[in-house]
Structure 1
Amino acid sequence: MSARVPRNRATGRRPPARRRPRRPGRRRQRAEDRLIGLLIAAVLVVGLVVIVVNWLLAHWWILAVVAVLAVSAGGAWLYQKQQRARWEAVRARGLRYGLAQLDTLHHARFEDAVRDLMHRDGCRDAVRVGGGGDLGADVKATDPYGRRWVIQCKHRRDGLGGSAVGTPDLQVLNGTARQVHGADVAVIVTNGRVTAPAVAFAEQQRLHVVDRHILGAWASGSRPLWELLRAVPPPRRPTALS
């Protein structure tokens, strides 16, 4: 039997039982172990870094060789990049198409040719967007003067013998070029014929028509398209001549 705890004579109550001191919990112990592990790892990392730095200082010529190789590799990469850009510029400036060559193209490749010609003229962002749901735009580009071009392409495999571009084609361009695509210059390009009513409608609505004659001069020459068209909007950006 356990010994009975004597009562306090003054109060008649038993004294409170003593509580045993609690040992540190497992979570606290784990946290301390983790902290110790991190400290040991940090010491090892610092020691390794010191060893590597001392070794490199003792063998400084290795750093010099690595630096020379890195500079040489970077210089070679930059030179090749500049050469590619230079040759691309030369190729773009020398891009030429004959009308007979354009006639044989697929309509999608005809749009590619128009895009490439705009790029040749200095429109670095020229892109072909033609396809289903293009809303009247096959090629978009921004010229060096800040003007936004929206171009609708109409390819005729038979050239002048194909169906003529009519007023309905220009009405589609007129309805979307400025309102939807934000065009400053709205253009329709064809290797075929354009009806007289379509030309009159284009003049009324400030649209530009690149017919077979203008297309031939543009594709086979070196002048940009805006030098071959009349009444092109003024530049948005200041130029050296302004």
Structure 2
Amino acid sequence: MTTADENRGAPRRGSAATARDVVLAVGLVGICGGGLALFLRTADLAGTRGTGWGLPLAIIAVLAVGVVMARWSVAPARRRPPRAGPAAPPADLPEVGADALDHAEADPDGFEHTVAALCVRDGCATVEVVGGAGDLGADVVATTADGRRVVLQCKHYAEDHRVGSQDLQRFGGTCFTVHQADVAVLVTTSSFTAPALDYAATCGIVCVDGDALAAWTESS
């Protein structure tokens, strides 16, 4: 459906272009008429006035003018660039609500969605939950308002199950090289071992433990 705004924005040929077309048509008619008159004069002098060439030539001249005018009127339309289509709708973002941020009651799969909801709440432009079989360590992928790509791995562990160095090494092997992260984050409901924190510091991975997650959830 075409809206009123689209009609107003449609390209139109201006008065200058119309005047140019009229001048061109008049000029062509004049040239054809002059040529015909010259031919008839020459034919008259040669004694061939009655040969019947005048009418066919007049018809040919009129047809030639019509063809030129038709081509001239179509040419501007061909030069117009194609109209851009409607912009693609933005991707759906995870819902943010009281339940969406309650990571304490979430299962491992639901925990990924609570982390995604935190990213949405804090202004990320795009957020996608990608965790599952074959995710290569990426559970949530987000884009910050300033365009940075954030890759998060979520570990929903009990308090006595700490995130070890091997967990960090597996994530560190894919977050930058495979997922092209500008910022890599490992979020857990528990805590990290000392070797894990050392490895994360060496690789530039942000570690968010249970206490930091609670503070993040409360925006403190």
| 1:95 Cα deviation after fit | 5.4
* Per-residue Cα deviation, 1:136-188 (whole angstroms, up to 9, x for no partner): 100000000111000000002x3x23x11001111111111111111000110
| 1:104 Cα deviation after fit | 2.6
CA distance in 1, matches of 2:133, 2:194: 28
Opposite residue 173 of structure 1, the aligned amino acid is F
- Please point out which of 168, 171, 174 is paired with 2:172: 174
CA distance in 1, matches of 2:127, 2:103: 19
Opposite residue 210 of structure 1, the aligned amino acid is V
CA distance in 2, matches of 1:178, 1:212: 24
Gap regions ≥5 residues in structure 1: 1-87, 224-242
Tell me if 1:202 matches 2:203: no
Gap regions ≥5 residues in structure 2: 1-92
Aligned residue runs from structure 1 range 181-220, under 5 A? 181-220=179-218
| 1:96 Cα deviation after fit | 7.9
Counterpart position of 1:126: 127
| 1:105 Cα deviation after fit | 1.1
Contact persistence 1:126–1:141 (CA under 8 A):
yes
Percent pairwise identity: 43
CA distance in 2, matches of 1:97, 1:115: 9
CA distance in 2, matches of 1:219, 1:97: 10
| 1:116 Cα deviation after fit | 0.7
Could you say if the C-alpha distance between residues 218 and 97 of structure 1 is closer, same or farther in structure 2, counting changes exceeding 3 Å?
farther
Counterpart position of 1:36: none
Could you tell me the TM-score, scaled by structure 2's length? 0.54
Counterpart position of 2:142: 141
Contact persistence 1:135–1:176 (CA under 8 A):
yes
CA distance in 2, matches of 1:97, 1:130: 17
Opposite residue 131 of structure 1, the aligned amino acid is G
CA distance in 1, matches of 2:176, 2:99: 30
SS, match of residue 126 in structure 2: coil
CA distance in 1, matches of 2:205, 2:214: 19
Could you tell me the TM-score, scaled by structure 1's length? 0.49
Higher RCO (C-alpha 8 Å, min separation 6): 1
Counterpart position of 2:107: 106
CA distance in 2, matches of 1:198, 1:135: 19
Aligned Cα RMSD in Å?
A: 2.4
Contact persistence 2:100–2:117 (CA under 8 A):
no
Contact persistence 1:97–1:219 (CA under 8 A):
no
CA distance in 1, matches of 2:98, 2:178: 31
Q: Which has the larger radius of gyration?
A: 1
SS, match of residue 141 in structure 1: strand
